[in-house]
């Protein structure tokens, strides 16, 4: 996601950093490079022009201040970051619940944009947050649509309101209206209405969506759009905005190689906030949209906050606290901790996705490392560590040749694999020590394959510990990454 764009931004900053003193013509040159990068990323022309102009004006305005700074390129970075956050909608917006339940959420969008999947994700997400959602199958167009939603509903144990099978084509407006009535009776506090999509924007689609809207009067109408469709996303958004109207946007398929244009153009052009992002086919691949975190990713600074939240969720309270204390007190990071972290990582989801949130994850060297990581490696590594005695896990220095071959036999792996794990573990331990002594991740250091989690204790500790610069993205930038 946003790879091309964040590579370009990294290049732009790289070039700026090399200049000690920034002049007006440097600002102009930077703006021109940004303009080209954004257009290549399929950001709508009018948005690009406005965005770049704002950066230019703001930078020129504060040029006297910039000149006083010892890190002039950082000041420009700050301006770009701010404008990027603004264009992405400013502050994150949450679902607005109705004063009088149920809160009605209607999903609309083109065929295949991800509405039904989103209905499941949203229901799961809201349920975990203590709500009692009801899913409504109001797509009676596509033969399989009701079944698709039923399967999702069952998998998350959320009730579904759907027309009786074999009941003819059915009327989606009526189904939606009845569903809301049913939710009121049964005290479901959120109703999620999945509607039918069409291949293109047409009058019939708009009419059906508008009729459902008029019948259920949603508290939130969410326009669901596939981020991969680039410029078309904006055109479709505008058509829906005029035809049906919506309160917020959900960007889906951000896990694909979306260039990012849609994310950057939609909020600005429709004036509606992006509420959620969908980043995969699994129901857990979903989160609120945070403009500041997205800006940080686009700028190649990673998304440490999301990573930290996921780490916190995955490491249960006790073990996170223990690891944090261990880290702070300077105790050694052992293979036992490593195994515990790996188990937590399994809970967090795919390793490559997690590592993608690290600062610099889009940089070529880091990317090569990430690409080299095979999620199955986690399973293999786990087998090896589990074949070690508690003492060996605590103190890998005792691992002589015969112990290593015993472990290899026990885990069904080769001695070379055992050796490689021990080597990588030592490298990770070194990183941990360095980070603890306040040096941050060593420059140019990419995490060794299978060692994604040395960062975890630091992450677990992050909310409490004040780092030199409170802002991890800024710190990463300070350190020249
Ligand atoms: N990679 C990826 N695939 C997704 C995401 N969201 C949905 N999909 C996939 O996209 C396809 C279409 O998703 P649906 O949820 O059926 O889309 P829809 O908008 O309900 O489609 P219609 O009902 O035909 O209008 C499915 O194969 C989903 O698994 C996502 O965030 N990332
Ligand atoms: Mg659907």
183 pLDDT higher than 90: yes
Tell me which residue has its CA closest to atom 29 in ligand 1: 281
Could you read off the pLDDT of 349-373 as tens digits, one per residue? 666 666 666 666 666 666 666 666 6
Of the listed ligands, the closest to the CA of 1 is 1
Lowest mean pLDDT among 15-29, 204-218, 364-378, 423-437: 364-378
454 pLDDT higher than 60: no
Instruction: With cut-offs at 50, 70 and 90, classify the pLDDT of residue 308.
Output: low
Most confident option among 121-135, 222-236, 296-310, 363-377: 121-135
pLDDT, residue 298, reads 83
| CB-based burial label for 158 (10 Å; 0-12, 13-18, 19+) | buried
**Cα(163) to centroid(ligand 1), Å:** 22
Distance CA 342, CA 355 (A): 13
Instruction: With cut-offs at 50, 70 and 90, classify the pLDDT of residue 13.
Output: confident
Q: Could you check whether the bond before residue 122 is cis, i.e. omega within 30 degrees of 0?
A: no
Of the listed ligands, the closest to the CA of 253 is 1
pLDDT, residue 230, reads 77
Ligand 1 atom, smallest distance to 139 CA? 23
- Find out whether the beta carbon of 280 lies less than 6 Å from any atom of ligand 1: yes
Q: Which domains does the chain have, with CATH numbers?
A: 3-87 (1.20.120.140), 103-298 (3.40.50.300), 304-478 (1.10.260.30)
pLDDT, residue 100, reads 93
HSE-CB for 316 with a 13 A CA cutoff: 3
pLDDT, residue 476, reads 39
pLDDT, residue 122, reads 97
pTM for this structure?
A: 0.71
Burial call 282-307: b when 16+ CB within 10 Å, e when fewer: ebebbbebbbbbbbbbbbbbbbbbbb
End-to-end Cα, the chain, rounded Å: 19
Could you read off the pLDDT of 267-303 as tens digits, one per residue? 888 889 999 999 888 898 898 999 988 888 888 776 6
**Cα(123) to centroid(ligand 2), Å:** 15
- Find out whether the beta carbon of 139 lies less than 6 Å from any atom of ligand 1: yes
Tell me which residue has its CA closest to atom 4 in ligand 1: 281
Ligand 1 atom, smallest distance to 196 CA? 25
Distance CA 459, CA 479 (A): 18
pLDDT, residue 359, reads 65
**Cα(358) to centroid(ligand 2), Å:** 33
448 pLDDT higher than 50: no
pLDDT, residue 234, reads 84
**Cα(301) to centroid(ligand 1), Å:** 29
Instruction: With cut-offs at 50, 70 and 90, classify the pLDDT of residue 215.
Output: very high
231 pLDDT higher than 60: yes
- Find out whether the beta carbon of 114 lies less than 6 Å from any atom of ligand 1: yes
Instruction: With cut-offs at 50, 70 and 90, classify the pLDDT of residue 6.
Output: confident
Instruction: With cut-offs at 50, 70 and 90, classify the pLDDT of residue 313.
Output: low
- Find out whether the beta carbon of 176 lies less than 6 Å from any atom of ligand 1: no
| CB-based burial label for 31 (10 Å; 0-12, 13-18, 19+) | buried
**Cα(112) to centroid(ligand 1), Å:** 5
Q: What angle do CA 371, 453, 13 make, to 5 degrees?
A: 60
**Cα(118) to centroid(ligand 1), Å:** 8
Tell me which residue has its CA closest to atom 1 in ligand 1: 280
- Find out whether the beta carbon of 103 lies less than 6 Å from any atom of ligand 1: no
Could you read off the pLDDT of 125-177 as tens digits, one per residue? 999 999 999 999 999 888 789 999 999 999 999 999 988 765 555 789 999 99
Lowest mean pLDDT among 83-92, 114-123, 156-165, 319-328: 319-328
Ligand 1 atom, smallest distance to 107 CA? 19
Instruction: With cut-offs at 50, 70 and 90, classify the pLDDT of residue 394.
Output: confident
């Amino acid at each position: 996601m946003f790879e091309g764009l964040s590579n370009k931004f990294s290049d732009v900053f790289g070039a700026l950093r090399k200049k000690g003193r920034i002049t007006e013509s440097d600002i102009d040159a930077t703006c021109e490079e940004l303009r080209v990068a954004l257009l290549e990323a399929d950001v709508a022309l009018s948005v690009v022009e406005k965005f770049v102009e704002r950066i230019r004006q703001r930078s020129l305005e504060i040029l006297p201040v910039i000149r006083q700074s010892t890190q002039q390129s950082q000041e420009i970075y700050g301006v770009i970051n701010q404008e990027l956050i603004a264009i992405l909608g400013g502050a994150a917006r949450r679902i607005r619940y109705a004063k009088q339940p149920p809160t009605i959420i209607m999903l609309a969008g083109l065929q295949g944009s991800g509405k039904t999947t989103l209905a499941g994700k949203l229901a799961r997400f809201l349920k975990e947050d203590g709500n009692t959602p009801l899913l409504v199958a109001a797509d009676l167009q596509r033969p399989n649509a009701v079944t698709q939603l039923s399967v999702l509903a069952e998998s998350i144990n959320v009730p579904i309101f759907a027309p009786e099978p074999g009941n003819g084509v059915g009327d989606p407006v009526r189904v939606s209206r009845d569903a809301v009535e049913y939710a009121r009776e049964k005290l479901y506090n959120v109703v999620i209405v999945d509607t039918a999509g069409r291949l293109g924007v047409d009058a019939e689609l708009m009419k059906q969506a508008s009729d459902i809207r008029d019948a259920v009067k949603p508290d939130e109408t969410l326009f669901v759009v596939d981020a991969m469709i680039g410029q078309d996303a904006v055109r479709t958004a505008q058509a829906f905005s005029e035809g049906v109207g919506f309160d917020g946007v959900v960007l889906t398929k951000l896990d694909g190689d979306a260039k990012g244009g849609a994310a950057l153009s939609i909020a600005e052009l429709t004036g509606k906030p992006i509420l959620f992002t969908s980043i995969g086919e699994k129901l857990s691949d979903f989160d609120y949209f945070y403009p500041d975190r997205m800006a940080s990713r686009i700028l190649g600074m990673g998304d440490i906050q999301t990573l930290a939240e996921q780490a916190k969720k995955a490491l249960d309270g006790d073990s996170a606290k223990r690891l944090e204390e261990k880290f702070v007190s300077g105790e050694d990071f052992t293979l036992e901790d490593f195994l515990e972290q790996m188990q937590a990582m399994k809970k967090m989801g795919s390793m490559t996705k997690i590592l993608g949130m690290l600062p610099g994850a889009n940089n070529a060297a880091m990317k090569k490392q990430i690409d080299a990581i095979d999620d199955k490696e986690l399973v293999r590594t786990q087998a090896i560590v589990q074949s070690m005695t508690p003492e060996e896990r605590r103190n890998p220095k005792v691992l002589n040749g015969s112990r290593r071959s015993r472990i290899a036999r026990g885990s069904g792996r080769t001695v070379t694999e055992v050796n490689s794990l021990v080597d990588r573990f030592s490298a990770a331990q070194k990183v941990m020590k360095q980070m603890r002594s306040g040096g941050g991740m060593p420059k140019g250091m990419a995490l060794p394959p299978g060692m994604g989690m040395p960062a975890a204790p630091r992450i677990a500790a992050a909310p409490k510990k004040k780092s030199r610069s409170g802002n991890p993205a800024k710190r990463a930038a300070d350190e020249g990454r």
